[in-house]
Each structure stands twice: as structure tokens, then as C-alpha cells.
Amino acid sequence: MVVFARMQAASVVRDKLITPTYDKGLLVTDLKVPGHFDAAERERINFSIKANGMAVIRNFVDKSQTQAIHRESQSVCNYGYGVGTGVAIKPYQDPKLLEFRFPFICSRGAAGVATNESLISLLEEHLGKEPLIHNALFQITFPREDVALGYHVDYGSVKALNPGKKLPDYRLRTILYLNDVESGGFSYILNSHSEAFKAYFHLPYSQLFPEENIPTDLERRVTIHEPAGTLIIFNTHGLHSPTAPRKTRSVLNIWFAKRDFSGNLPATLFALNFVPPDRRHRLHVFDSERGCSLDVYHEALSKQPSTLKAFLKYVLAKRTKSNYAHFE
């Protein structure tokens, strides 16, 4: 009897040690005023990021502003930017999704999200003073039956400038839903970042996240089905995955990093007139270019693969389920 009780106590201690805690009750915060956190809301969001690795903020962008950003995203994801004016930036398009990777040059609303004072000062508590954006994109995903990408973590960055490198930097990513998401929501395993880092960071770059290291406790998995205007913030080292959308889904993705981000980055393009004068002290979010000398571009050009190699790479890329998002 004593032995059994001791064993039970030991297993409680062991479970406490190996099973990270989380608090689902803190996950969602419903803002009273769109775009603004009062003290209680801010504290709750902060606690959720610490306890769960993520937070969900309903009503972050109001309805009409969300609709405006949605329209802008549709236009640039389908047609690109500046078509017909001589300066054109193309979207990335494949049969499953459309992306436009310069949201701050074409959308006042997107620039407003990136410089939102409540958001940036909250991020500063996690990422330190004056964080920067290391990547951003509008994305439209089409209905599909299967999951595009299994549980994974984001350790990469702009791949052309950081070839074959996993970057350990702590980053927080935001996803703003631009339409009501009733299927195909973002899925996350709560408070999984430390475990996932230990299990995966040292593995070879091309290896997928090992199945056996994905926590099996279904209680820890959440899928976020929320209305348009909801903002998700999550630690990119936590295990996450898209789910299969039955309807077309549109989002704005922004990745935020610490000022001393270790990877090479291109400049984040933005339109100054989209940033209201009272937010210009937050222009630091766009000040991201580093390690990106012209030589890097020349090297990349001189290493261009032959047409045959490029074709093979394209075919193989189509067949392989990458562990990373297209850009992260």
C-alpha cells in the first residue's frame, strides 16, 4: 500500500515535471474598444502568451476596417500592386493559395495593425524595446480536403538570405482573420514551445518535426474559429498547423522579432502616408534590413541553378511537404 502510494506520488511529480501547464480559460480576450487594450485586457493577453504560448484577441480590428483590409488583400493577392503604373509587384500564386508579401505598401489598415500602440507596447514586454517585423504577408487559402502542413515550428526566415539555417530567435507571430473563420482555423498545441525546441532545433534542417515528439494530449490542442477582425498572437516555437478550410480564408500574417534578430533580412517596404503621424514613433517596426549587402544578391544570382536543375527543384518542391511555411 505504502509502495503504491509512493509510486503514485512519484508519477504525479513526474507528470508535473514533464507535462507543461496551460490555461485555456485565458486564451480569448474580447476587446471592449477595437484596437485598444485596457489594463485588464492587456494583463490577460500577457498571461495567456506566457501560460499558453498564444492569445486570441477578438474585435482587434472593427468590422468596416477589417472589410477594407480584406478588399485590399483580395486586390493585391489576385492582381499584384501597381499594375499598369510601370512599377508592378507580383503576388505569389499557386492552385492552393495566393500571397502578397508587401502588405504595408498597399494597405493603410495593415500598416495600422503593424504600428498599433497597444499591440506594439505589449509585444515589447516579450521581445524587448522596439521590436521589428521580419516578415509579413496577405494570404488567401482555398477550400481543400486535407491539411496543407502538419504540426511544425517556424525557425526559418527569408530563405534566400539565410540558406539552410535554423534561427533560434524568439519570435511572436500575429494572424489577423480577414473573414469569419468557421473552418480551416489556425491550430496550436498550448505551451509546447520549450518541448518542441528541445526535440527539434538540433535536427537537420530538412527533417520534419518528429511525429513521436508531438504531444498527444488532445486537451492541449486548440483550433481557432473566430470572426473577422480577430487577432491571434503566438510564439512561433510552439507547434502549430493550419486545418483544412471548407471556405476560402483570408488573413494578414506578421512576424515580429527582437531588435537583435540574428538572421539576414531585406528591408520591410511600407508607405509612410499609411502610418498616422501620432504613430510614427513606431516606425521602428519597419527598420529590419540587416546582413543584406548587395553581395548577397550577387552571390545568389551567380549560384542560379541550370534550367533543368530549377525544373527538378520545382517538381520536388511540389511533392514534398515542407516543414516550413513558404516564408517565415
Ligand X SMILES: O=C(O)CCC(=O)C(=O)O
Q: Which stretch of DSSP H or E encloses residue 99?
A: strand 97-100
- Separation of alpha carbons 71 and 96, rounded Å: 19
Phi (first) and psi of residue 174, to 5 degrees: -115, 145
Least distance to ligand X, CB of residue 196, Å: 13
Nearest to 226 by CA among 171, 176, 157, 296: 176
Nearest to 266 by CA among 241, 237, 238, 297: 297
The reply to whether 135 sits near ligand X by the rule CB under 6 A is no
Residues in 69-98 at the binding interface with ligand X, rule: CB under 6 A: none
Least distance to ligand X, CB of residue 324, Å: 7
Nearer to ligand X, 37 or 100 (CB): 100
| Closest-approach residue to ligand X (CB) | 325
Residues in 226-245 at the binding interface with ligand X, rule: CB under 6 A: 240-242
Instruction: Give SS3 for 81.
Output: strand
Least distance to ligand X, CB of residue 154, Å: 5
For 235, residues 6+ apart whose C-beta sits below 8 A from its C-beta are 49, 53, 54, 170, 171, 172, 193
The reply to whether 325 sits near ligand X by the rule CB under 6 A is yes
Least distance to ligand X, CB of residue 133, Å: 16
Q: How many CB atoms lie within 10 A of CB 243?
A: 17
Q: Binding string to ligand X for residues 145 to 184, with x set by CB under 6 A, is what?
A: ----x----x--------------------x---------
- Count of residues of this chain found to bind ligand X when the rule CB under 6 A is applied: 8
Indicate which single residue of 186, 234, 261, 270 sits in contact with ligand X (rule: CB under 6 A). 186
Residues that bind ligand X (CB under 6 A): 149, 154, 175, 186, 240-242, 325
